Amino acid sequence: MRIQPLLLAATLGLSSMAGAGAAMAAKSDSCAHCHGTDGNSSSGLYPSLAGQTKEYLYRQIMAFKEGKRKNAMMSPSVGILSEQDAKDLAEYFSSQNMLRSGSFKPDPALVDKGKKVAEEAQCAACHQPGYKGLNEFPRVARQKHAYIIKQLKDYRDGARTNDDGVMSATVKSLTDEQIEALGHYLGSL
């Protein structure tokens, strides 16, 4: 883990000698270890980036870079990125397809419950029909369920605060059980 910034420096250095497409592949190489070579991560610790909206990805990369959003695994990866790198990476990942996870077995009872909670809280009003996202509203459909659950708790408990209060207000009265159900529902879409 500690050599990550060095690896990143190496791939970015290479990228300046290559063409645009190869440069992009080299830049995203340093992300692939956690987020998957095609933007689909293989662990619930890491969000999939494939098919996420460009605007949202860019904002989050910049939030990590500026320290407004913090994570011990993620934060070290972005310090070296320029604003243009952030834009390029956002464009690159948003053009990929978010795949259904082979290993996730959603619990049908939790999926049902999560659907009801999402309807009552009107989550789709911002996240769009099918939870496919738009501009600064992230796609949440088919995202890793463990990651969704962690983010909702982080917003609720004040550990993630770069949302201008939008999400924290929405989730502040949700119980752990409701949040778990939302994770199963959204992850199953």
Closer to ligand HEC at the Cβ: 2 or 105? 2
Minimum CB separation of residue 128 from ligand HEC in Å reads 10
> Rounded to the nearest whole angstrom, what is the least distance from the CB of residue 101 to ligand HEC in the complex?
15
Q: Nearer to ligand HEC by C-beta: 109 or 169?
A: 169
Binding interface with ligand HEC (CB under 6 A): 4, 30-31, 33-35, 45-47, 49, 52, 57, 59-61, 71, 73-74, 77-78, 89, 118, 121-123, 125-127, 136-138, 140, 143, 148, 150-152, 162-163, 166-167, 170-171, 182
Cα atoms found within 13 Å of the Cα of residue 76, Cβ hemisphere only: 13
Choice between 8 and 103, CB closer to ligand HEC: 8
Q: How far is the CB of 139 from ligand HEC (least distance, A)?
A: 8
- In whole angstroms, how close is the CB of 170 to ligand HEC at the nearest point? 4
Distance CA 184, CA 175 (A): 15
What SS3 string covers the chain? CCCHHHHHHHHHHHHCCCCHHHHHHHHHHHHHHHHCCCCCCCCCCCCCCCCCCHHHHHHHHHHHHCCCCCCCCCHHHCCCCCHHHHHHHHHHHHCCCCCCCCCCCCCHHHHHHHHHHHHHCCCHHHHCHHHCCECCECCCCCCCHHHHHHHHHHHHCCCCCCCCCHHHHHHCCCCHHHHHHHHHHHHHC
Residue (32 or 109) nearer to ligand HEC, CB: 32
Residue 134 CB, shortest distance to ligand HEC, in Å, is: 10
Residue whose CB is less far from ligand HEC, 41 or 108: 41
